[in-house]
Amino acid sequence: MLDAGPGTVAQLLRRNTPDELDAVVISHMHTDHCLDLVTLRYSYPWIDVAKKRLLVIVPPGSMAQISELALGAGYVNFFDKSFIFDEHDGKRPIEIGDLRFEPDETQHYVRTWGFRVQARGSGEDPNKIFAFSADAGPCPALPRLADHADLFLCEAALRSLKEDDPAPQSRGHLMPAEAAEVAQGAAARKLVLTHIPLPDDGKWALEEARTAYDGQIEIAETLKSYEI
């Protein structure tokens, strides 16, 4: 599971049981990407019931915030019987089962990593790439992440540039057309837009993005599967 924003665990439980998860990877510590670790902890069996504690990979330097989240949720050991946390180092690939996650730091308001993900299991094509922007303003990491990706899941959280910091080096999100420009420049084969501001169905975002990208574009849909 990649990121755990509010509501994601409720959706997960419609299809899976929590102990089917191999791991959770958190891109950054904004609560709209990690708050459902608390919900997941309530759904995930404790170690005396579960076969193993669930591996939760978090960004470098974020364990202090995890401790505060635990305290805010009730007590300092809140996660201990269910999860085992591991900070990645921001550079080296993370191996989880047959999946390999290559982190790349994006430009955001707090330190954030996007990922290029490959599957290397038997019968899987290691050349297929799933890329995730995480949260990001325009930055050099985005074309690296999206480079010839088979599916580029990219944020498009802005309706107008007025919603972001005006300084280019302080931007933290993308307009749909900017996400599309990245996909176009990086020759990504398919673009799926996410983090679309509510309330609307994202049609405007799709139209904006189509002006800058020739490939297939979709708005991410809850519970939809995307084959790569």
Total Cβ atoms within 10 A of residue 184: 17
Nearer to Zn ion, 36 or 135 (CB): 135
Length of the chain: 228
Nearer to Zn ion, 69 or 129 (CB): 69
Tell me if 195 contacts Zn ion by CB under 5 A.
no
Nearer to Zn ion, 135 or 181 (CB): 135
Point out which span in 39-47, 64-72, 83-91, 128-136 binds Zn ion (CB under 5 A): 128-136
Helix 36-43 and helix 63-73, axial crossing angle in degrees, nearest 10: 60
Q: Could you tell me the sign of the dihedral formed by the alpha carbons of 141, 1, 201, 211, in that order?
A: positive
Considering only residues 135-194, where is the footprint of Zn ion by CB under 5 A? Answer: 135
Considering only residues 1-30, where is the footprint of Zn ion by CB under 5 A? Answer: 30
Largest distance between two CA atoms of the chain: 54
Closest by CA position to 90, among listed 63, 59, 118, 62? 59
Cβ at position 127, least distance to Zn ion in Å = 30
Q: Torsion angle of alpha carbons 103, 182, 1, 99, nearest 10°?
A: -50
Nearer to Zn ion, 32 or 80 (CB): 32
Nearer to Zn ion, 39 or 112 (CB): 112
103 phi/psi in degrees, rounded to 5: -80, 145
Considering only residues 72-101, where is the footprint of Zn ion by CB under 5 A? Answer: none
Phi-psi region of 140 (alpha: psi -120 to 50; beta: other; left: phi over 0): alpha
Point out which span in 43-51, 99-107, 119-127, 133-141 binds Zn ion (CB under 5 A): 133-141
Nearer to Zn ion, 1 or 129 (CB): 1
Point out which span in 69-77, 127-135, 140-148, 201-209 binds Zn ion (CB under 5 A): 127-135
Residue 126 CA: distances (Å) to CA of 95, 130, 207: 13, 11, 32
x/- map, 27-56, Zn ion, by CB under 5 A: ---x--------------------------
Total number of residues that touch Zn ion (CB under 5 A): 2
Decide: helix, strand or coil at residue 61.
coil
Give the residues lining the site for Zn ion (CB under 5 A): 30, 135
